[in-house]
Amino acid sequence: MTSLNQQLYELSQKYIPGGVNSPVRAFKSVGGTPVFFKRGQGAYFWDVDEKSYIDYVGSWGPLILGHAHPKVVKAVQEAAQNGLSFGAPTETELEIAELLCKLLPSIEQVRLVSSGTEAGMSAIRLARGYTGRSHIIKFEGCYHGHDDALLVKAGSGALTFGHPSSAGVPAETAAHTIVLSYNDVAGLEKTFNEFGKEIAAAIVEPVAGNMNLVKAEPDFLLALRRLCTQHGSVLIFDEVMTGFRVGLECAQGLYQIKPDLTILGKVIGGGMPLAAFGGRRDIMQCLAPLGAVYQAGTLSGNPVAVAAGLATLREVQAPGFYETLAAKTQQLTQGLTVVANKYGVNFCAESVGGMFGLYFCKELPKSFADVMACDKEAFNRFFHAMLQEGIYFAPSAFEAGFVSAMHNSEDIDKTLFAAERIFSSWV
């Protein structure tokens, strides 16, 4: 008899393209059938056939407090009882805006939106409106949501300007986006020397989490900051993933670099649709209703989402929160490395705060090309074997993983024992 999971997947494909509402959920990269989940608690979640899993995806980052954290759930319930949406200002929007400005000194003003995509798209438009320029720089392997201007891949050979990486993106739009290699200072210098006066913005994930995990080298981000200042371009840090995930000061605090604009999402909504973009007051004041750059949203700053975000941000400010989270995440990455190496598997791993990367290769990658050179087949075998063991990693070799405050040492040990069973069988 087919499992309920299989039945749901088959039926979903009839009504939803590919059976999923976001492509990476489809297991296309690893093969097999996506798992349908029905409930979660803490570090665990359960599929529709009642199998439990330790969750290292955390809804792709937001669930820093694990599933259904009692304080977040209570905040959501209380907010919902008072009305789901007003389409008018609320006191809690002010509260979260003030808090974000307090926690991130680079943010003087902030606007709330509903997804990271919206935040990225709005920040790009704002930077263009502010500078009166059209070109933007992005880096290969970074993902900033599915805005047309950002679904762009590098042009071939000597071509500077990008090509659409998705059908439906006009070539004219992509032609304004320059795609450079991550961590390549020389490429950056050359591009700014040539096009500096036309570059509205450079957008970067300061720790990339969409090509597995790749840390920016400090010199790379410093050069980016210097060149943007020198040429009057807006530096946008995409902290949708790293924001309140790598530390309370986010990646900009770790690197001690002040971007002009920051985009946030995931953790700031605690599992609800909430994101934000913010930064320098003089730039933010170009937004409607004050300025000429239009941006709006029916559900922006939704009170239920804001309640979940505030409850989450309250918890992460507890003393020692990030130290404990980082130590647990390291216990996982170092443990996996030891176990893999014991059985001669080409493997390394690293983490920043509560996010991590697992690589089936010998050395930590520094660029998209390095990540692409890792052994994808080995990852896929590992992924499926771990899934059997009840351990859920991201279903792709090119995604970062996440540990929550609810994962304990026992959960990590269970993960390491499972990995040992798997790697020992590969010998």
Ligand X SMILES: Cc1ncc(COP(=O)(O)O)c(C=O)c1O
CB of 228 to ligand X, least distance (A): 19
The answer to whether residue 141 forms part of the interface with ligand X (CB under 6 A) is no
DSSP code, position 209: -
Question: Contact with ligand X (CB under 6 A): which of 130, 143, 368, 382?
Answer: 143
Which residue's CB atom is positioned nearest to ligand X? 116
Other beta carbons less than 10 A from residue 11's beta carbon: 11
E strand segments, 156-302: 163-164, 177-180, 199-204, 207-208, 214-215, 234-239, 261-264, 275-279
* Contact range with ligand X by CB under 6 A, out of 101-109, 237-245, 347-355, 358-366: 237-245
Least distance from ligand X to the Cβ atom of residue 9, Å:
22
Point out which span in 141-149, 251-259, 333-341, 390-398 binds ligand X (CB under 6 A): 141-149
Cα dihedral: 324, 329, 334, 340 (round 10): 150
Please pick, from the candidates 141, 145, 279, 357, the single residue that binds ligand X as defined by CB under 6 A: 145
Q: Is 205 in the site for ligand X (CB under 6 A)?
A: yes
Binding flag, residue 302, ligand X (CB under 6 A): no
Catalytic residue among 55, 184, 238, 370: 238
Helices (H), 151-217: 171-174, 185-195
Active-site residue, 197 included? no
Across the strands, what pairs with 164? Answer: 152
Figure out which of the listed residues 9, 27, 60, 237 binds ligand X, where binding follows CB under 6 A. 60
Tell the smallest beta-carbon distance from residue 239 to ligand X (Å). Answer: 8
Is 14 among the catalytic positions?
no
Cα dist. 295→2, 112, 153, 284, 291 in Å?
A: 48, 11, 26, 11, 10
- Tell me the window of 112-120, 188-196, 276-284, 402-410 that interacts with ligand X (CB under 6 A): 112-120
- In whole angstroms, what is the distance from residue 371 CA to residue 366 CA? 8
3-state DSSP assignment of residue 399: coil
368 binds ligand X (CB under 6 A): no
Tell me the C-alpha distance between 32 and 10, whole Å: 12
Catalytic residue among 130, 143, 182, 392: 143
Pick left, alpha or beta for residue 204 (phi over 0 → left; psi -120 to 50 → alpha; otherwise beta). beta
Q: How far is the CB of 238 from ligand X (least distance, A)?
A: 5
Cβ-based neighbour number of residue 347 at 10 Å:
24
Q: What is each CA distance from 141 to 162, 369, 371, in whole angstroms?
A: 13, 9, 9
Q: By CB under 6 A, name the one of 19, 116, 129, 395 that touches ligand X.
A: 116
Question: Closest Cα to residue 204, out of 148, 138, 259, 133?
Answer: 138
User: How far is it, in rounded angstroms, from Cα 319 to Cα 282?
Assistant: 33
Q: Which is nearer to ligand X, 184 or 238 (CB)?
A: 238
Q: Which is nearer to ligand X, 35 or 211 (CB)?
A: 211
Smallest distance, Å, CB 116 to ligand X? 2
Residue 215 found at the interface with ligand X (CB under 6 A): no
Tell me: does residue 240 bind ligand X (CB under 6 A). Answer: yes
CB atoms near residue 13 (< 10 Å): 13
CA distance 167 to 150: 13
Residue 33 vs 59, nearer CB to ligand X: 59
CB of 369 to ligand X, least distance (A): 19
CB 353 within 8 A of CB 245: yes
Is 147 among the catalytic positions?
no
Binding segment for ligand X (CB under 6 A), chosen from 9-17, 143-151, 293-301, 319-327, is 143-151
Task: For residue 250, give both structure tokens.
Answer: 């986010």
Instruction: Considering only the stretches 110-118, 129-137, 221-229, 408-416, report the one whose residues sit in contact with ligand X under the rule CB under 6 A.
Output: 110-118
Interface pick for ligand X out of 117, 131, 252, 415 (rule CB under 6 A): 117
Q: What are the residues binding ligand X (CB under 6 A)?
A: 60, 115-117, 120, 143-145, 205, 209-210, 238, 240-241, 265, 275
Enzyme catalytic residues: 143, 238, 266
